[in-house]
Amino acid sequence: MPPGDLAIWFFIFAELLAFGIFFVAYAFARAHNVELFNESQQHLNIASGAINTLVLITSSYFVVRAVAAIKQNFSRECARWIAAAIGMGGIFLAIKLFELYAKFSAGISLSTNTFYMFYLSLTIFHFMHVILGMVILTAVMLKARSGGYSAKLHTGVETGASYWHMVDMLWIILFPLVYVIH
């Protein structure tokens, strides 16, 4: 059995499928428009994308520590690690907002060209998943803080952690695909 609640895995697979189809569509559109994609890509802020990659990987590490903590019955420590992960999620969102703000200020929209259509939809779609992940982690944190989990019963922590790792993993694919690979 996978860690966490089985239902979250159905959800994770469905999410991966949605992003997967989007990634394939991106590849398909790029193959028909290589020059446009390469040209537009040069205007993206790789630095902010790279920093955000580190931010999310760090947050995933915090979540791992939270799961390890609850397995030893340390509820408060578990809650603190999750709070740290949520904090990293917040940093990710802030950096992303600056990046998107710059793009919108430059007059870029979904209708600018096919590349920007994918860039904006994929990053905003992922952005919304980060928010959902933070909501799930917050619920887990609150329950952990009030002693709702134990070394024996901590499915909820693993459920939240699984979802968060998925959000992280999607960014690890999205960042090189959209920002880096020429």
Partner 1 sequence: MQYKSQAVAKPYFIAAIGLFVGQILFGLIMGYQYVVGDFLFPAIPFNVARMVHTNLLIVWTLFAFMGAGYYLIPEEAETELFSPKLAIIMFWIFLVAGALTIVGYLAVPYATLARMTGNDILATMGREFLEQPLPTKVGIVIVALAFLFNISLTVLKGRKTSISLVLLLGLWGLAVFFLFSFYNPSNLVLDKYFWWWTVHLWVEGVWELILGAMLAFVLIKITGVDREVIEKWLYVIIAMTLITGIIGTGHHYFWIGAPEYWQWFGSVFSALEPIPFFMMTVFAFNMVNRRRREHPNKAATLWALGTGVMSFLGAGVWGFMHTLAPVNFYTHGTQITAAHGHMAFFGAYAMVNLTMISYAMPMLRGRSANSRSAQTLEMWSFWLMTVSMVFITLFLTAAGILQIWLQRMGSNPMSFMDTQDQVMLFYWLREIAGLVFFVGLVLYIWSFFYKKGEAHIAA
Q: List contacts with partner 1 (CB under 8 A).
A: 5, 7, 10-11, 14, 17-18, 21-22, 25, 29, 110-111, 117-118, 121
Q: How far is the CB of 50 from partner 1 (least distance, A)?
A: 27
Closest CB to partner 1 among residues 24, 151: 24
Q: How far apart are the first and last CA of the chain?
A: 39
Closest CB to partner 1 among residues 21, 181: 21
Q: How far is the CB of 139 from partner 1 (least distance, A)?
A: 14
Q: How far is the CB of 62 from partner 1 (least distance, A)?
A: 26
Closest CB to partner 1 among residues 55, 167: 167
Closest CB to partner 1 among residues 102, 110: 110
Q: Which helix (H) or strand (E) segment is 25 a member of?
A: helix 6-31
Q: How many CB atoms lie within 10 A of CB 17?
A: 10
CB 108 within 8 A of CB 44: no
Whose tokens are 């860039």? That residue is: 119
CB 126 within 8 A of CB 52: no
Q: How far is the CB of 21 from partner 1 (least distance, A)?
A: 5
Tokens (6 digits) for 173: 């694919």
Instruction: List b or e across 47-83, with b for residues whose CB sees 16 or more CB atoms inside 10 angstroms.
Output: ebbeebbebbebbbebbebbbebbbeebbebbbbbbb
Q: How far is the CB of 163 from partner 1 (least distance, A)?
A: 12
- Residue 108, Ramachandran bin (φ over 0: left; ψ between -120 and 50: alpha; else beta): beta
Closest CB to partner 1 among residues 72, 111: 111
